[in-house]
A and B are shown apart, each in its own frame.
Chain A
Amino acid sequence: MKSQDKPLSDIAEKKKNEGKGVNRRQFLSSATAAGVVAASVTAPNKAITQESTETSHAAITPPSAQQEAMEYDVPVGYSAEEAEQYFVKNPGSDFMVDVLKELKFDYITTNPGSSFRGIHESIVNYGGNKSPELIEATHEEIATAMAHGYYKITGRPLAMLAHGTVGLQHAAMAVYNAWCDRSPMVILAGNHLDVAHRRPGVEWSHSAQDCVRVIRDYIKWDDSPVSLQHFSESMARAYKIAMTPPMGPVAIVLEGHLQEAELGNQQAPIPGMTPTQPPSGDTNAVDEAARWLVEAENPVIVVDLMAHDQEGVERLVALAEALQAPVVNQFGRMNFPSNHYLSQAANVVAQADVILGLELYDTWGTINNMRDRVHKDVQRRARPDARVIDIGVKDLFTKSNYQSFQRYFSTDLSIAGDAQTTLPGLTEAVQSAMSSARRASNPERKARWQAAHIRQREQDRDWARYGWNASPVSTGRLYAELWNVVKDKDWALVSDDGQQNRWARRLWPIDKHYQWIGRSGGAGLGYGAPSALGAALAHRPEGRIPINVQRDGDMMYVPGTFWTAAHHNIPMLTVTHDNQGYHQEFMHLQRMAARRQRGVDGSSWIGNELRNPEIDLAKVVEGMGVWSEGPYSNPKDIGPAIARALDVVEAGEPAFVHVQTQPR
């Protein structure tokens, strides 16, 4: 791809021309009309599209007469020397905003901080608070997780703006989740490196030699630009790196003085940004994988963090149907329609003679099981003779401190490459390798898997009726009642059902990529509510109904999320899974107590409960301006309450139904 460098031979020229009446915005607008590449990496194997950014500045409202006077004249009553002391005509952070616009960030999430006051002001006043628009959060963990959730729906990264010190420390957990979940975002961290420009006091405690160090173990790349040109190049590089599989967060430090100082005559070109084509698996290895799959009696596909978009789903459907092979979706992404007959339960792995893993987060754990006993014994789930093929980008990760890469597994064929990008070649190779006799076996295979799929769906439906009338409400009923309210709408689940017995994936027909958000990645609490809200923000222009099944423990980390929902009018239907405790930890404590033969009669509440006092979650969000009802523990109440909440969401507001539930 050709680089699209477009020198805005600009700022110096602009300065020269200012006295001749050439307006800065006119200048930048004409310069950017040359266009810049902006394409989604989420459409691999497609021709990279190029979009002109001609209109990116055109939307900016022309400056008022008063603003013109401020920019080009010394204000009345000031000498030129005084004006130089008091006023800045052309702050560096305005240029930073131009770069953000060129990269087409839709939003920047933030909790405000003085170390980035320069760019904050530029976003609002110079950039008109549009493209990107600031989304205000009450905690950096919320701001970061919103960016995480937004990416998973749109395939586009957000920027997150934070103090380089205290802000990144707050954000760290959410950054780690994004890292584990291979979700890109661009973190912008304010800092004052030059002591000569630091104000006494807080600005010192909010500065660091190397502020990104606190998160460097779980981001892909970072830089600390010392000039505006450096900033623009590093932003383009950061964007590319974040969006190239394996995707992940990146960070750019915003030097305070660079934001606030007069740009003067600096040359600061904005480089073009051509997305990197995702890596595809080696052709010979892919051909070998195809042969194994075609020759297998019982090939099984297991998939986790694969599909970047709907095209990824369709590519996997094509491969699975070509082989008539069952697909076990581990639901790190919406990889495969839950209502497709080849969608099968995890136990089919035990029958497989060839297992194809696609972007598995944990290959070892897919093939093996470790029992949680005093002595951790291991049983292989798969047949001893089953061959395992692994296609994915996990071997391209290069960090070593945090152990999110899971236990080593010796696969029979390991192919480094983005699985979604590799799939068309694999499917084609499968078609080529398939004999007519093998192809003739497909109808029988299809009938077998259709029957198994129907049996599984019926069994799941049957299981949901147990505890149907229980109070507090069973999680199965919660999802059934939700479904009845939203089934005729354009809905999307913006939370993970893994802690609710996986009822959505077991019961609901999920066939669109955007209907499913996947997991947190690092399993750090405080992800659920804000990532759901980030996803809801992504769904807003499409008019979809985002459904957030909100866990009480997660919510208590980040309750301010609901203020952001109200403040920015982000419609989202939240129904709580309030089991009044940190349930996972409760079970761990119970296991420890049983193992040590003491205290199984109630000690596990200690340190794990969210009761005494009971938390009125509906009142919590009501206090932040969100429509709410509850708490409800009678199952008969929740259907009508959810219907009322849906009316609120359809009117464009967030709504919240507090339901007290069974544990899981």
Chain B
Amino acid sequence: MIITKGFYPILGLAAIFLCCGKAIGQDSEDVVTGQALYETYQCWQCHSYQGQGGAHGPRIAPTLYPFEAFSQFVRRTNLMPAYSPNVLSDQDLRLIYDYVRSIPEPPSLEEIPELTF
């Protein structure tokens, strides 16, 4: 992952929210809707279906960012195309966030012998 200078403040913001922010509720219906929106808005093209990232988009799940940082990243960013509220509403973005938050941790390295190099 290449992190540009402009991204560091977002990471900092994320760290603050991690410490202080409250957990965001993840209603299962919202998660299902969010997953559909994640696919509709093509988030998976850069970030892949489980948010693991790819050659042109960083890993976003399991997300550590609070919604505000996540939103900032989508609306104003050095890396990805900026999605304005005109094409992606705050409400839909929130549902996408709920889905990203719901993606579980993958197995640990100890559980994946294929990743022994």
**Mutual binders A and B:** yes
Residue of A nearest to B48 (CB): A662
Report the bound CA distance from A97 to B81 in whole Å.
Answer: 57
Q: Are B54 and A475 in contact (CB under 8 A)?
A: yes
Within 8 A of B (CB), among A461-497: 461-470, 472, 474-477, 480-481, 483-484
Q: Are B106 and A469 in contact (CB under 8 A)?
A: yes
The answer, among B41, B45, B106, for a CB contact under 8 Å with A467, is B106
Which residues of B have CB within 8 Å of A590? 42, 45, 81
- 11 CB contacts below 8 A, A to B, read A461-B115, A465-B115, A467-B48, A469-B107, A477-B114, A481-B114, A509-B117, A590-B81, A604-B42, A662-B49, A663-B45
Which residues of B have CB within 8 Å of A369? 4
Encoded as 1 (CB less than 8 Å from any A CB) or 0, chain B from 83 to 117 comes to 11011100000000000000000111100111101
Residue of A nearest to B58 (CB): A463
Residue of A nearest to B85 (CB): A597
Residue of A nearest to B46 (CB): A587
Which residues of B have CB within 8 Å of A662? 44, 48-49, 52, 54
Given contacts A465-B107, A465-B115, A583-B45, contact A499 B53 (CB under 8 A): no
Q: Which residues of B contact A (CB under 8 A)?
A: 2, 4-5, 40-42, 44-46, 48-57, 59, 61, 78, 81-84, 86-88, 106-109, 112-115, 117
Q: Are B115 and A464 in contact (CB under 8 A)?
A: yes
Q: Is residue A50 contacting chain B, with contact meaning CB distance below 8 A?
A: no
Q: Are A507 and B87 in contact (CB under 8 A)?
A: no
Total interface residues on A, CB under 8 Å, equals 52
Which residues of B have CB within 8 Å of A483? 114, 117
Q: Are B117 and A601 in contact (CB under 8 A)?
A: no
**How many pairs, one residue from A and one from B, have CB atoms within 8 Å of each other in the complex?**
123
Within 8 A of B (CB), among A544-587: 583, 586-587
Q: Are A601 and B87 in contact (CB under 8 A)?
A: yes
Encoded as 1 (CB less than 8 Å from any B CB) or 0, chain A from 597 to 621 comes to 1111110100000000000000000
Q: Are A664 and B48 in contact (CB under 8 A)?
A: yes
Within 8 A of B (CB), among A8-22: none
Report the bound CA distance from A599 to B87 in whole Å.
Answer: 8
Which residues of B have CB within 8 Å of A604? 42, 45
User: Which 7 residue pairs across A and B have the least CB separation, nearest first?
Assistant: A664-B54, A467-B52, A594-B81, A466-B52, A664-B55, A591-B81, A480-B114
Which residues of B have CB within 8 Å of A477? 114
Within 8 A of B (CB), among A31-72: none
The answer, among A467, A501, A502, A601, for a CB contact under 8 Å with B50, is A467
Given contacts A501-B54, A594-B81, A663-B54, contact A463 B59 (CB under 8 A): yes
Given contacts A465-B112, A508-B117, A583-B45, contact A474 B40 (CB under 8 A): no
Q: Are B117 and A500 in contact (CB under 8 A)?
A: no
Task: Knowing that A469-B106, A591-B81, A594-B82 touch, tell me 12 more A-B residue pairs with CB under 8 angstroms.
Answer: A379-B5, A465-B106, A467-B48, A484-B114, A502-B55, A594-B81, A595-B81, A600-B41, A600-B87, A601-B87, A602-B40, A664-B54
Report the bound CA distance from A528 to B78 in whole Å.
Answer: 31
